[in-house]
Amino acid sequence: MRDSWGRTIEYVRISLTDACNFCCPYCRPQEITPSSQIHLLHPHEWMIILEAFHRLGVKAVRLTGGEPLLYPHLDELLQRINETQWFEDISMTTNGSYLGDRAKTLQQLGLNRVNISLDSIDPDMFDVCVGKPNQLNSVLRGIEASLAAGFKQVKINTVLSRYWSDEEVRTLFEYIDAWAVIWRFIEYMPFQGDAFHGPTFDEWRAQLERVCGEPLQSVDHVYGFGPATYYRLPSGKDIGFIFSMSHNYCDTCNRLRLTSDGHMRLCLLRDDESNLINLVRNGITVDELVRHIELTVQLKKQEHDGIDMDQPERPMWRIGG
């Protein structure tokens, strides 16, 4: 499927639930009991929507949230998606805290790749980053279980919502070298206004180069369907940068988002949405849904407004990052 700017749309990110056990201050600052948790889509409803996307040429799906492991029908949905063989790739973005017990089962049900969020390796700083005490161990256990489970790929996502000391960066390099993961750094997006300030693309690159003592070599290789640009560390490890505010990737945008209340969102950073689940619950056929999605996608804007953007009405935890 192509949008009106000639971009091929081949990737869909599905937020399964907006419930979460963490309160990362840049995403979901308070403990919120989501009202829509009782209105979650059932696997058979997701399958109708996913069949439409498959017919439109979508190749990859990513399950996210909120915390996708809190979606009560996760195993059934994963199994059903996998059985259809509609998609080349099924991946997940998770905070990792429940993966210790679930990683192997998810891999066996057909999950190919997993991205785990980890904003600090220091226990006290980590608790600040997720808004709750004593959480780092569960996530480290989730990372270990994922590395042992046989996924095609494990990535770590680190949001830079603050400046790091060089000492922290030195420790970070030790973990990057020790773990068989692709580590990616994500610029803070102002879903909570201008409450957070982290390094820009150039500042982060300069700090990494200062600490490792030589320039980072850029790498052509792309790991997955995302917009990251990759650099090679002197150790030979590749790391990814996703700096959507100070670098705009909109010209290569290949994705749509589905929210846990069944809306299709055309852009992470704009509030243009279409309520697909209403159509499904009113008996739309898959053919009609295909047509509806195709037409709606033509409304996708060329780009977001960068740092001048208005704060989106839907917070990050209700969109799925």
- Interaction site with ligand SF4 (CB under 6 A): 20, 22-24, 27-28, 65-67, 95, 117, 317
Least distance between ligand SAM and beta carbon 100 (Å): 15
| Nearer residue to ligand SAM within complex by CB, 74 or 290 | 74
269 sits near ligand SAM (criterion: CB under 6 A): no
Least distance between ligand SAM and beta carbon 104 (Å): 19
Chosen from ligand SF4, ligand SAM, none, partner binding at 157 (C-beta under 5 to 8 Å by type): ligand SAM
Are 21 and 96 in contact by the 8 Å Cβ rule? The answer is no
126 sits near ligand SAM (criterion: CB under 6 A): no
Least distance between ligand SAM and beta carbon 24 (Å): 6
Chosen from ligand SAM, ligand SF4, none, partner binding at 274 (C-beta under 5 to 8 Å by type): none
Q: Which residue has the closest beta carbon to ligand SAM?
A: 321
Least distance between ligand SAM and beta carbon 23 (Å): 11
Question: What's the gap between Cα 273 and its chain centre?
Answer: 18
Q: How many CA atoms lie within 13 A of 68 on its CB side?
A: 32
Least distance between ligand SAM and beta carbon 49 (Å): 19
| Nearer residue to ligand SF4 within complex by CB, 94 or 274 | 94
Which 16-45 positions form the footprint of ligand SAM (CB under 6 A)? Answer: 20, 26-27
Q: How far apart are CA 230 and CA 224, in angstroms?
A: 12
Question: What is residue 185's DSSP assignment?
Answer: E
157 sits near ligand SAM (criterion: CB under 6 A): yes
Q: How many CB atoms lie within 10 A of CB 149?
A: 18
| Nearer residue to ligand SF4 within complex by CB, 58 or 120 | 120
| Nearer residue to ligand SAM within complex by CB, 200 or 296 | 200
Q: How far apart are CA 90 and CA 60, in angstroms?
A: 6
Are 20 and 70 in contact by the 8 Å Cβ rule? The answer is yes
317 sits near ligand SAM (criterion: CB under 6 A): yes
User: Which neighbouring-strand residues pair with 94?
Assistant: 116
Span interacting with ligand SAM, options 59-67, 78-86, 287-295, 301-309, rule CB under 6 A: 59-67
Both tokens of 310, joined, read 């208005």
Least distance between ligand SAM and beta carbon 231 (Å): 19
Are 163 and 171 in contact by the 8 Å Cβ rule? The answer is no
β-pairing, 182-187 vs 153-160, is parallel
Which residues make Cβ contacts (< 8 Å) with residue 115, sequence separation at least 6?
91, 92, 93, 94, 154, 155, 156, 157, 184
Which helix (H) or strand (E) segment holds residue 241: the answer is strand 238-242
Q: Which of 3, 10, 67, 238 binds ligand SAM (CB under 6 A)?
A: 67
Which residues make Cβ contacts (< 8 Å) with residue 242, sequence separation at least 6?
184, 185, 186, 187, 226, 227, 228, 249
Binding characters for ligand SAM, 79-118, by CB under 6 A (x = yes): --------------xxx---------------------x-
Backbone angles phi, psi at 13, to 5 degrees: -110, 125
Q: How far apart are CA 191 and CA 230, in angstroms?
A: 25
Q: Is 41 helix (H, G, I), strand (E, B) or coil?
A: coil
Least distance between ligand SAM and beta carbon 235 (Å): 24
273 sits near ligand SAM (criterion: CB under 6 A): no
Are 19 and 37 in contact by the 8 Å Cβ rule? The answer is yes
189 sits near ligand SAM (criterion: CB under 6 A): yes
| Nearer residue to ligand SF4 within complex by CB, 82 or 138 | 138
- 122-123-128 Cα angle (round to 5): 95
Binding site for ligand SAM (CB under 6 A): 20, 26-27, 64-65, 67, 93-95, 117, 157, 159, 186, 188-189, 191, 316-317, 320-321
